[in-house]
Chains A and B, each alone.
Chain A
Amino acid sequence: MGISEGIKSVFTPRRLRNLRESLTGYLFIAPAVLLIFLFGIFPVGFALYVSLHRWRIKRTDYIGLANYTRAVGNLTYVLLFFIALGALVAVYFLFRKIIKKARENGEKPWLLILPGVVHASVFGALLRYLWFQLPTFLAIGDKIIGQEKTRELFNQLLSEAFQEVKPQFNLFFWLLLASVVLGTAFIYLVRTPRNSFYQSQFMLVWLSLAAGIGLAYYTYSQVLAAYAAAMETNTDPGIWPQVITISAGLFLLGIAWVLWEGASKESSNLHFWGRILGAMFLLVGGWLLIGEIPQIVALGDEDIWLGLKVTVFFSLGTVPFQLSISMFLSILLFQKLKGSEFFRMVFFLPYVTPFIASAAVFRQLFSNRETGPINMVLQRLGLEPQAWLFESKGVFEIMAAGQGWDWPAWAAGPSLALVVIIIHSIWTYVGYDTVIYLAGLGNISTELYEAAEIDGANAWDSFRYITFPLLSPTTYFLSLIAIIGTFKAFATIWIFRESLALGTVDTFSVAIFTEFFEKLRYGYASAMAFVLFAIILFLTYINNRTQGSKVFYG
């Protein structure tokens, strides 16, 4: 009687309905989430695992950060220390957020630190368990070769693999149990409506604290190991001085930026110029210290820096042209003259065309034959025919040579082969950008133009003071997509690669893929991929920061 009453009070019709609703939700998302986890999230951890090993088709030794130092030299240590520092700074901000929330509501959630620690340690235990479980699972694939695949055999191998890591799994399991029990218990112990908020925030605090300290300690031990290894050959790796100078340089740059930002708020001229002057000095000092970076990375892999250089050329060559052409075309199309639908469709056509087919066409338009179409045009204009995709010389170098000038090697510019790829890329994406710009133009109110016309603005004025600033969110979006796109670019370049211009067209992604696919260095290629990931995250972050201050949202 009592029990059934109790059950009834827990499972009220409303609660039952909510439970059913939740279960339906989980059921609906389960297949997609499972697939995205398996092929989208798990691989990041797996790639990290691969990158810490010497791994050519098969996993061999654990080699720590060696793949990374081979890629970017001692910059690895500097960057990892900074990431660790970033995690510790995040701890401070998270903690401040919790205190603020607690003060606002007059609450004392400090007891919830305890379940927070336990929740956070679950993640640590999970990572530790996976670290041991992953190789045993991978081994199943090798053990099963040559045997008849049966369910029994697989189950047996699976349970063997599992037995090997039982202690690690048990730790994870008990911690998970403890976290669930404690989490629930503390909901009743500390009575606040924001209980789960505090618990999750404390968990985040502990997670980033552990990550920061762990990463710093790991990097520190790796640096010591590098020094120990260098002792044997009687060389000085010079990591500590590098870490210190670069940190000092970045620190100075940071202060310079703060001074610069604050300058505009100063009311007196003296203070204003004082700040600007101070900022300038710090800026120069900071740059001088950071000037160490090229020397550090010179020890890294040349292919990476070449890939980075090519990618930067690729970005600089495509993005500004692509965006200005498409902005111009979209303004023309926006006049809604007869036939603009037709033009829009035509401009969009290159974007929907499979890259591989259009790249094949461009390969022949820019053929190195004298009768190739573009070479014909050049000859009509009285210019020399070019080898295009077979040309590894820089475009400025070739132009200067045409005039008979001497040209310094550092200013050679992108190779002519890369120029073809740049033109193809512009040709492909102008239509896409135009369509997005058209949508952006549609969001600008016509009243603004009418008001400007009454004020006597001409067409250029309305473009300069209305259209251009109001399109800036679209421009930022498109430039971010385009720049990141050049870092990810693979398919077109793979098709355009010709043996003679090789290396001068290999962007970062292509360099990674060749390392993996042709040289079969899985571990090293994974490390390179993480460098790429870091660059993309950095670009996105910079873009978001500048977007906040510069973009005008109508």
Chain B
Amino acid sequence: MDNQQKIKTIEQAKSLHWLNTVRHFFVYLFLSVGAFVSLVPFAWMIATSLKSLAETMTSQFLPKQLMWENYVIAWERALFSKYLLNSFSITLITLAGSLTFSILAAYAFARIKFPGRDLIFGLLLSTMMIPAMVNIIPNFLTVTWLGRIGPIPWINNWPALTVPFMGSVFNIFLLRQFFAQVPDELYDATLIDGGGHFRFLLQVVLPLSKAPLMVITVLTFMGSWNALAWPILVTNTPDWRPISVGLMNFVSEAGQEFQLTMAGAFITIIPVLIIYFFTQKQFTESIARSGLKG
């Protein structure tokens, strides 16, 4: 009796083990299908970017001979060096301004008491509801106006592309959540050492908030690489035109030369991918956390 039961449980365990293997097989199968679908466009892009023009007309997937010169041609024809440099400059200027202003504001909203604090913060949060299309026309008028009266032009120049994005409600919101979690005891310690808010912010709070700062950096990068409507409006010469508009123009101009547009697309993607791979783990986790709190 006892033995029989043992055998039964062992059999059960065996069948469970067998079931598990089947289950794992299916899990991996579906995951692989998902991964395949995610990756196919990338594979196709890279493969096509190395084909010759004649090969892009055929249905073969892989190039017979790797045409690395496609990248050189695309690079030269579309001023990619200029556009990439522009996008990097735009991102860095935006980041410098937005990080400085957002850190200060987020710190004040999280740790300094002043009348009207919650009211102002609520007002700022409610602006996140406003669709960009409402603001785009007046902001275009404002920016044109500022360029006319100010010492430097704003259109076709860095101010129009960066200054409007330096005050970011989302960044303030994200940072505030992290800043509020820093224990009060640390602030008391700073006070005893004779420091104030500024020193506490620089020496204690910021070193503890590397994760959100990184997220903001990556998101700002992605934002500049994705921006289209606003740059189309405020740039009509290549001087400050970002890579997004550059690539769009190149795609419509090189239209049927698939190998060149794909090379251009890959050139555009590389910087963002590099940044993503370096920050991948913390980035996805912070997205998950900030997303859930919505």
Contact = CB atoms under 8 A, between A and B. Distances in A.
Interface centre among A137, A488, A512 (most CB of B within 10 A): A512
Interface stretch (B28-36, B65-73, B182-190): B28-36
B30 A360 contact: no
Nearest to B127: A40
Nearest to B284: A435
Given A141-B148, A371-B57, A29 B137 contact: no
A18 B115 CA distance: 10
B235 interface: no
B108 A343 contact: no
Contacts of A129: none
Interface in B35-49: 35, 37-39, 41-42, 44-45, 48
Contact of B107 (A28, A44, A513): A28
B268 A356 contact: yes
Interface in B48-64: 48, 57-59, 61
Nearest to B244: A356
B12 interface: no
B194 interface: no
Interface string A529-543: 110110011001000
A159 to B, nearest CB: 14
A24 interface: yes
Contacts of A376: 59
A494 B133 CA distance: 14
Interface residues on A, range: 35 or more
Contacts of B287: 432, 435-436
Given A25-B117, A439-B292, A357 B58 contact: no
Interface in B90-105: 100-102, 104-105
B172 interface: yes
B41 A435 contact: no
Given A141-B144, A357-B269, A26 B138 contact: no
A127 to B, nearest CB: 16
A350 interface: yes
Interface stretch (B1-9, B203-211, B226-234): B226-234
B142 interface: yes
B136 interface: yes
A176 B245 CA distance: 47
A537 B35 CA distance: 36
Contact of B148 (A145, A353, A477): A145
Given A46-B138, A438-B288, A517-B232, A360 B104 contact: no
A530 B134 contact: yes
Contacts of A488: 131-133
A9 B102 CA distance: 37
Contacts of B149: 140-141, 144, 149, 154
A39 B135 contact: yes
Nearest to B121: A29
A354 B104 contact: no
Contact of A346 (B38, B44, B139): B38
A337 B28 contact: yes
B148 A22 contact: no
A488 B135 CA distance: 12
Contacts of A47: 134-135, 137-138
Interface in A435-477: 435-436, 438-440, 443, 474, 477
Contact of A439 (B107, B114, B136, B288): B288
Given A35-B166, A347-B35, A491 B226 contact: yes
Given A26-B114, A32-B105, A343-B34, A532 B134 contact: yes
B142 A38 contact: yes
13 contacts: A22-B115, A26-B114, A36-B167, A39-B167, A47-B134, A50-B138, A329-B31, A350-B41, A352-B273, A354-B268, A477-B294, A490-B229, A495-B251
Across chains A and B, which 4 residue pairs bring their CB atoms closest together, nearest first?
A: A35-B167, A25-B114, A46-B138, A28-B108
Interface of B: 24, 27-28, 30-31, 34-35, 37-39, 41-42, 44-45, 48, 57-59, 61, 100-102, 104-105, 107-109, 112-115, 117, 120, 123-124, 127, 129-139, 141-142, 144-145, 148-149, 151, 163-164, 166-169, 172, 196-197, 218, 222, 225-229, 232-233, 243-244, 247-248, 251, 258, 261-262, 264-266, 268-269, 272-273, 276, 280-281, 284, 287-289, 291-292, 294
Given A361-B44, A488-B131, 20 more contacts: A26-B114, A34-B167, A50-B137, A352-B218, A352-B272, A354-B222, A354-B247, A355-B226, A364-B44, A371-B59, A373-B59, A373-B61, A430-B34, A432-B287, A477-B291, A490-B132, A490-B133, A490-B229, A526-B134, A540-B129
